[in-house]
Structure 1
Amino acid sequence: MSKLLYRLGFWSAKNRIKVLIGSFTLLVVAAIVALSMGIHFGEETSIPGLASQKTLEVMEKEFPNPQGDLGTTQLVLKAPDNETLASDAAQQLIGTQLKKVAADPEVASVVSPYDNHSLNADSTIGYATINYKVPGADVTEASKDTVIQVADTLRDAGWQAELIGDGFVKMATSSPTEGLGVLLALVILAVALGSILTGVLPILTAALGIGFGIMLIIIGTSLFDIPSFALSLAGMLGLAVGIDYALFIIARYRQQLAEGYERREAIAIANGTAGSAVVFAGVTVIIALIGFSFVGVPFLTAMGIAGALTVFTAILLTIFVVPAILELLGGKIKAPAKRAKGTGSNQKAAKRGNVWGRFVTGQPLVAVVLGVALLGTIALPFFHMETGLGNDGHKSPDKTERRAYDLLSEAYGEGYHGPLVILAETDGGQEAAANLTKVINEVKTYPNVIAVNPAVTGPSGKVPLITVMPATGPNDSETIDLVHLIRDKAPEIEQQDHVKIGVTGSTAVNIDITQKLNQALPKFCLIIVGLAFVLLMLVFRSILVPIKAVLGFILSLGATLGFVTYVVQDGHFQNLFHFYAKAPVFNFLPIIVVGVLFGLAMDYEVFLVSRMREEFRKSGDAKKSVLAGIHHSGGVVTAAGLIMVAVFTGFVLAEEPMVKVMGLALAFGVLFDAFVVRMLIVPGVMTLLGKSAWYFPKWLDRLLPNLDVEGEGVMEEVEKKRLEIKNDTKVRRLG
């Protein structure tokens, strides 16, 4: 592979104009196709086979909705002090304002607080329901503005008026704060590569890659059901790896220039060596993301494929476009200052430049114990982690939907946001009504139940719906226990009362999804860990190096989930990270973090340890190889880690809680893995293992293919070519 990339680097540099024009043309064509086909993100989050999903399918047959899922907005109202919604003046004011909303052509109907009987016990809080003719995602800004103006008018009159619902609130998949991460990345790149011009180059290629990838995802929305929040994951990954991959090749290119290679030769070598590591690392990330399909969650599979697509385009843009731009810029990208060899002063300077390497190799046991103890302590909260879905109650109090959520909780209790729907199937006989009443009375006696609404029977007369209001919110353990209790009682009820019951509704579905994901996590981790071991064994021709890498990944993963639990669930440092309420950890987060962090961890492992192996094959000195790896690749890995943290930090500053949590987990996951595991624990363990780190049975070495990620074949070919040129020159001089 390295020889192929070496030749590709030469070709791209030679045909730089064609490569650049072709890349921009592809991006423009993809954009034209994407915009012409339109954006059709789906928000389907169902999982086939769940108990709640099966019940939901039966319910939809009995209670079909011919118009599909249309948008709704709730206008939640709270009367001024010493007033109620029941007064004549209040009814007249509210009625007048709701007529303005009803006049909107997009509005199908408006149900007042008096018609939907939503007034609370003291008539101080109620809500109007606005039903639209289109799905919530398709409600226009003009229609939203109409409702906002009505709410503002009521506020001016002294009322509290807030808005909530899918007809008004749409998940923000991007935020201006993401640009801050890019700016931080530019500063880091400029420092690492020695100039702003060189620092802009990785961001430019990453932008091209992510732009092309996102256009392909948008095209895919017309063919597949892809959730809108897949763009957040794809955007984070595409931007971060795109910058890092370009950085690795540019850094190696500058090293080759410093060693005296001609510019185009240096480009080709960088593409053949660092480019090989980029391809391997990128393929590892792609495999991990595609591994989401093993979980059995369709929309998580779609998220993984979307993320893998942007990583794939990042790889292509890196190995094709970076060499072309390097050749185009010519001498504007300078080699780092080359240290002279042989003098005592410069040897001392080299040692001073590798202070971290000398510390870790000088005190390897201290480094390993310190790193393991630190990450182990941070990981402790992981053992009481609870997962679930976020809601509007976790948003900033500055948001109207958060204030509406709190008003509804104040009026009707937390259970209002997590009702359970019981689907009862009867035989329709003479005793069916009596048996159903008996079931309802029994459900009323269950713990945590505060209300059971009268049954609504479907057209067949055999399938009633019963709505149960718990006392606790949708993510609370008491609500989860209630769902399990009803299901545990179902066989007994069916036997005694001849009524078959099932629990569904958004709360029950989310509980089942969370349980499904938690059950799938260990299996997914085993797949990822097994994959890591096999891939690293192929790359490094070692048994102990992959074991060390896997254990390091597990440590960084545990610390990441532990830290997220400590902040999000336990409520620490919430002001620092702008979280506004304690919440369960987003139920998809552990699997997403496993897949993404695995890929990124392998990036750093490959770039750091491959240089160690390269040096060990030359010198046979294990300690010297560790020092060389840190000296040559440590700075690049550090810069790459800082860039990842900077990019993900931009997402931590976003307003959408789901995006914030994902950004927080990935930012600190990279921080722990790049700086504690790869730069502290890995060199320490490699030093302690010595030459045994590179032990590999000869029979196994013969059986397995050699991937040559270090580019040994390329360097041998280059040195052979240089030697031939040198000999030819001598012959001509002698002649």
Structure 2
Amino acid sequence: MTEFLGRLGGWCARHGRVVLALWVVLAAGLMLGSLAAGRPVSSDVSIPGTDSQRAHDLVRDGFGPGYDPGGTVQLVLYTAQGTLAEPARKQAVERVVADLGRAPHVARVDPPYRPGGLASNLRIGVITVRMSGHDPTTLAQNTEVLSKAAEPARAAGIEVVPADNSTPADKEIKTGPSEVVGVLCALVVLVLAFGTLVAALVPIFTALVSVAAGLGLIGLLGHVVDVPKQAGIMATMIGLGVGIDYALFLLSRHRRLLASGVGVQESVRRTVASSGGAVVFAGGTVMVALSALMLGGFPLLRTLGWITAISVVFAVLTSVTLVPALLGVLGTRVNALKVPFLGRRGGGESTGWAGLGHWVARRPWRVLLGSVLVLGALAAPALSLKLGPLDDGYGLADSPARRSYELMATGFGPGSNGPLLVVADLGAKAASAADPVVTDLVKRIGEVDGVAHAVPAALHESGRSVLVQAIPDHAPSDPEAAEVVKRVRALSQPDRPLHVGGEVAALSDAGARVSERTPLVIGVVVLLSALLLLLAFRAPVVAIKAALMNLVSLGAAFGALALVFSHGLGSGLVGMDAPAGASFVDTVFFSVPIESYVPLMLFAVLFGLSMDYEVFLLTAVRQAYLRHGDDRRSVADGLGSTGRVITSAALIMVAVFVAFIAYPDPLVKTFGVGLAVAIAVDATIIRGFLVPATMVLLGRINWWCPRWLDRLLPDLSVEGHEEDEPAERREPVGSVRG
């Protein structure tokens, strides 16, 4: 790998302008192509093999057009003065219903002036538009068209709010304040780290090209696969963080070589040959962790995993090709435009971090015990992590989704925002919904504890099954709603099967599936990541220890999530708005559930990102060990040579992730908090204290490798020591083999 990356880096440096032009053309082409073709997204929550999926499949077959749960749009009506039953307002609403019936892809329009269409106060009503033959990925655009058709009602003084669980803004992948703030914060950190503006701009430019190419490809993929609406933002968040960090590590190494008198071309070649290998392995661990989500048994989770991995692939590719190209083009001008008062930075080792390394090496047991106690305290709140579905009641206070949710809850009860779709086999043919066998079933469903009421929605064309809509007493995010699903399913009989679908049922099944697959995903991620480290460093103890250390930082991240979201300590500060009319205490401590699949995906992302710093630190320690064979000194030297750059990289990632907390999507907020806390803890307590202490205590065992295993493993030489040390110093006497 060292030889290959060295040749690649050297070629890119010699042909810098060509490589730069190719990357700019590729990124611009992908972005322009996705903008021209559109960026369709689809938050597909199908869970194959579950009862809710079976119900949804049955609903699509034989119940007439417009009963697909993904093709229903509701327009919620509200009037603050008078009622919707007044002649003038009723006439305006009926005109809207007629106009909606003529809209493209509309199969049926249920007016509010029907049983169950108006609230008891007659001020809130709902028009249900059932779509047929439409593209599910364009539901948001169709909803916007339908909402515009309601202008006659608005002219009559009626508020009309669309409720399809999405808005056009949610569906678009676009650069916003979060991305801009994250990039600006990263630029400030880089300027402070390097002391020159040109050097600081290299990682920024590389990351922007990488993210642009990744987003362009993701946008085009939306035409052939279901891409979740959060995929673009997740890819941007991770892509910016790792893209800047990988370029930062390469640039730091290059500037150190330049400062030591190495020529530009040779410096670039050595940089990519050595640090480039660490970047490839670090990116590989992130991609392995994200790819393991394919075993989660949840299509949405699987797609988010590999879509996000695309951004990491581009970050690695730009780091080992575009960065050397830029360094070759800039030459010694990489140190141009020095910032006053910052002095010379990034050219040598950090004596402060080296001093910390020596301090830890002198008292490893005390440092180990103190680190474990601190990390245990940070992780303790994770035991009270509250998992559950998120509904539109947790959206932004001024968003249409939140407004429609609150109007529906006020007029028809909280369960109206998450009705259950029950598909039941009648056992005999029914002529109509008034048939006794249908009414008896509806009565039994309506009598289930937790069901407010149930009504027959449609009869199958065969007459042997019926679709019943059951409204729970509880909001979709209430854990009791999932219990209602279980009680309704208990009505199923072998000769008369019954299947329950709908948002609540689907999310409940998703949670069960994720819980079932979580041990498998965690095991695969840890095993494959440890295997990659084994290939990189040929040291099984280091590989296993590194994998276990990464699990520790996850505990701190989940502890922070529990404090902020489950206990509500600071949920308002991250932009979660409490319900209207909530007390001051409830507003300050606003508890928010976390989607059941979020911890698993957060685990995969964090495990990969934490492994980045482990790879860079171990690479430096391994290089020092190969020079002199002193365990304690190698730990101090490794921490001293990487401390500043790892700290800068961590600050950049934390800044990027914190900036994304301002994004309106609760899922992105959750990831922003979890990732920021985990990276901060990982780069300070774990890499600064816990890892050095354990390495000092283990001593030569760190690099022990059985002879039989040493013969089996390929020599990938990720450390790149061949590029920096004379041949006679590559394998010290202190090495342990067999």
Give the TM-score normalised by the residue count of structure 1. 0.88
Matching of residues 163-562 of structure 1 within 5 Å: 163-165=162-164, 168=167, 171-172=170-171, 173-174=173-174, 175-334=176-335, 351-352=351-352, 354-428=354-428, 434=436, 436-454=438-456, 456-490=458-492, 493-494=493-494, 498-562=495-559
Partner-residue secondary structure (3-state), 2:375:
helix
1:566 to 563, 568, 572: 563
Q: Once the two structures are superposed, what CA deviation does each residue of 1:133-155 show, in whole Å capped at 9, x if it has no partner?
A: 8555362797377368667656x
Matching of residues 140-159 of structure 1 within 5 Å: 143=145, 146=148, 153=155, 157=157
The 3 A distance-change label for structure 1 pair 702 and 301 is same
- Which deviates more, 123-132 or 238-247? 123-132
Quote the residue 2:723 is aligned against.
714
- Take 1:422 and 1:87, find their aligned partners in 2: how far apart are those partners? 35
The 3 A distance-change label for structure 1 pair 44 and 630 is same
Offset of 1:360 from its aligned partner?
A: 2.9
Quote the residue 1:698 is aligned against.
707
Partner-residue secondary structure (3-state), 1:475:
coil
Offset of 1:719 from its aligned partner?
A: 10
Q: Once the two structures are superposed, what CA deviation does each residue of 1:455-510 show, in whole Å capped at 9, x if it has no partner?
A: 632111101122222111223222212222333442xx44xxx4221212222112
Q: Match for 2:45: what amino acid?
A: T
Q: Once the two structures are superposed, what CA deviation does each residue of 1:150-173 show, in whole Å capped at 9, x if it has no partner?
A: 67656xx5x655442257555254
- Take 1:132 and 1:41, find their aligned partners in 2: how far apart are those partners? 18
The 3 A distance-change label for structure 1 pair 352 and 570 is closer
- Given that 1:137 and 1:170 are in contact with CA atoms closer than 8 Å, whether structure 2 keeps it comes out as no
- Which deviates more, 543-552 or 32-41? 32-41
RMSD between superposed Cα atoms in Å = 3.2
- Given that 2:252 and 2:346 are in contact with CA atoms closer than 8 Å, whether structure 1 keeps it comes out as no
Q: Once the two structures are superposed, what CA deviation does each residue of 1:232-251 show, in whole Å capped at 9, x if it has no partner?
A: 22222222111111001000
- Given that 1:622 and 1:687 are in contact with CA atoms closer than 8 Å, whether structure 2 keeps it comes out as yes
> Radius of gyration: which is bigger?
1
Partner-residue secondary structure (3-state), 1:585:
coil
The 3 A distance-change label for structure 1 pair 352 and 455 is closer
- Take 2:333 and 2:546, find their aligned partners in 1: how far apart are those partners? 38
Offset of 1:66 from its aligned partner?
A: 7.5
- Take 1:542 and 1:93, find their aligned partners in 2: how far apart are those partners? 76
Partner-residue secondary structure (3-state), 1:706:
coil
The 3 A distance-change label for structure 1 pair 716 and 206 is same
- Given that 1:71 and 1:167 are in contact with CA atoms closer than 8 Å, whether structure 2 keeps it comes out as no
The 3 A distance-change label for structure 1 pair 440 and 103 is closer
Quote the residue 1:346 is aligned against.
none
- Given that 1:139 and 1:167 are in contact with CA atoms closer than 8 Å, whether structure 2 keeps it comes out as no
The 3 A distance-change label for structure 1 pair 328 and 119 is same
Quote the residue 2:123 is aligned against.
124
The 3 A distance-change label for structure 1 pair 65 and 130 is closer
Q: Match for 2:569: what amino acid?
A: H
- Take 1:456 and 1:149, find their aligned partners in 2: how far apart are those partners? 30
Quote the residue 1:624 is aligned against.
633
Offset of 1:294 from its aligned partner?
A: 1.5
The 3 A distance-change label for structure 1 pair 169 and 407 is farther
Offset of 1:51 from its aligned partner?
A: 1.7
The 3 A distance-change label for structure 1 pair 62 and 75 is closer
Partner-residue secondary structure (3-state), 1:586:
coil
The 3 A distance-change label for structure 1 pair 485 and 128 is closer
The 3 A distance-change label for structure 1 pair 186 and 150 is farther
Matching of residues 88-99 of structure 1 within 5 Å: 88=87, 90-92=89-91, 94=93
- Take 1:607 and 1:167, find their aligned partners in 2: how far apart are those partners? 42
- Given that 1:72 and 1:167 are in contact with CA atoms closer than 8 Å, whether structure 2 keeps it comes out as no
- Take 1:597 and 1:434, find their aligned partners in 2: how far apart are those partners? 56
Q: Does 1:2 align with 2:7?
A: no
Q: Does 1:84 align with 2:90?
A: no
- Given that 1:70 and 1:131 are in contact with CA atoms closer than 8 Å, whether structure 2 keeps it comes out as no
Offset of 1:675 from its aligned partner?
A: 2.3
- Given that 2:289 and 2:604 are in contact with CA atoms closer than 8 Å, whether structure 1 keeps it comes out as yes
- Take 1:427 and 1:99, find their aligned partners in 2: how far apart are those partners? 38
- Given that 1:110 and 1:128 are in contact with CA atoms closer than 8 Å, whether structure 2 keeps it comes out as yes
- Take 2:96 and 2:194, find their aligned partners in 1: how far apart are those partners? 61
Offset of 1:429 from its aligned partner?
A: 5.5
Offset of 1:393 from its aligned partner?
A: 0.8
- Given that 2:429 and 2:462 are in contact with CA atoms closer than 8 Å, whether structure 1 keeps it comes out as no
Q: Once the two structures are superposed, what CA deviation does each residue of 1:630-682 show, in whole Å capped at 9, x if it has no partner?
A: 11111111111111111112211111222222222222222222222222211
Partner-residue secondary structure (3-state), 2:664:
coil
- Given that 2:69 and 2:502 are in contact with CA atoms closer than 8 Å, whether structure 1 keeps it comes out as no
- Take 2:639 and 2:31, find their aligned partners in 1: how far apart are those partners? 42
- Take 1:317 and 1:352, find their aligned partners in 2: how far apart are those partners? 32
Quote the residue 1:650 is aligned against.
659
1:583 to 578, 589, 592: 592
- Take 2:216 and 2:428, find their aligned partners in 1: how far apart are those partners? 54
Q: Once the two structures are superposed, what CA deviation does each residue of 1:8-37 show, in whole Å capped at 9, x if it has no partner?
A: 222111111222222223334444554565
Q: Match for 2:706: what amino acid?
A: P
Q: Once the two structures are superposed, what CA deviation does each residue of 1:669-700 show, in whole Å capped at 9, x if it has no partner?
A: 22222222222211122223233322222332
- Take 2:722 and 2:77, find their aligned partners in 1: how far apart are those partners? 73
The 3 A distance-change label for structure 1 pair 361 and 151 is farther
Q: Match for 1:198: what amino acid?
A: A
- Take 1:407 and 1:57, find their aligned partners in 2: how far apart are those partners? 30
Gaps of at least 5 residues in structure 2 are: 337-342, 579-590, 730-738
- Given that 1:451 and 1:469 are in contact with CA atoms closer than 8 Å, whether structure 2 keeps it comes out as yes
The 3 A distance-change label for structure 1 pair 65 and 380 is farther
The 3 A distance-change label for structure 1 pair 126 and 41 is closer
Instruction: Say how many residue pairs are matched.
Output: 704
- Take 2:517 and 2:657, find their aligned partners in 1: how far apart are those partners? 26
- Which deviates more, 356-365 or 586-595? 356-365
Q: Match for 1:234: what amino acid?
A: A
Partner-residue secondary structure (3-state), 2:678:
helix
Partner-residue secondary structure (3-state), 1:292:
helix
Identity of aligned residues (%): 33
Partner-residue secondary structure (3-state), 2:235:
helix
Q: Once the two structures are superposed, what CA deviation does each residue of 1:237-271 show, in whole Å capped at 9, x if it has no partner?
A: 22211111100100001111222212221111111
Offset of 1:446 from its aligned partner?
A: 2.5
